[in-house]
Amino acid sequence: MAAAISLRDYELNDNETYLVKNVLGFSRDPTEVATTKVHEAILQCADLQEVLQEQPWAVNTIDDTGDSPLYLATDKKQVRSMEVLISAGADVNQQSFKGWTPLMAAVWQQNVEHGSIALGFDES
């Protein structure tokens, strides 16, 4: 998007225009991130119970940003959301695209309570 805005004032020949359009076609608009209602509820600090009833399959779904709902709740320091997700079957060992688990996020934040929640519900 920024590239398109930067280029709009330049006069390009047909070949350059074709090339720019093709290259921009490979990029993704950051506002078009695919996510679930569970992820959205966490981002909006909303109640998860109703959303989990509607989308129970999303409890361990990783969105386009690479985060599971539990990782996102841990990162956003939402203790109640973490508890609800774990009770609903969220995998405490599931890694984000970057290889981080919710426990790793809690340790990074030096948050003992979140780490304890992740460890306390770990079934391994």
Q: What local confidence, expressed as pLDDT, does residue 21 receive?
A: 79
Assigned CATH topology for domain 34-120: 1.25.40
Q: Which residues of the chain have pLDDT under 70?
A: 1-10, 27-34, 114, 119-124
Is residue 86 a contact partner of residue 122, using CB atoms and an 8 Å limit?
no
Q: What local confidence, expressed as pLDDT, does residue 28 receive?
A: 59
Q: What local confidence, expressed as pLDDT, does residue 42 receive?
A: 94
Is residue 60 a contact partner of residue 95, using CB atoms and an 8 Å limit?
no
Is residue 48 a contact partner of residue 38, using CB atoms and an 8 Å limit?
yes
Q: What local confidence, expressed as pLDDT, does residue 64 receive?
A: 86
Phi–psi pair at 75, nearest 5 degrees? -65, -35
The 8-class DSSP code of residue 66 comes to: S
Q: Which two tokens stand for residue 73?
A: 């709740």
Q: What local confidence, expressed as pLDDT, does residue 124 receive?
A: 44
Q: What local confidence, expressed as pLDDT, does residue 15 receive?
A: 86
Give the separation between CA 116 and CA 29, rounded to whole angstroms: 37
Q: What local confidence, expressed as pLDDT, does residue 114 receive?
A: 66
For the chain, give every residue range classified as CATH 1.25.40.20.
Answer: 34-120
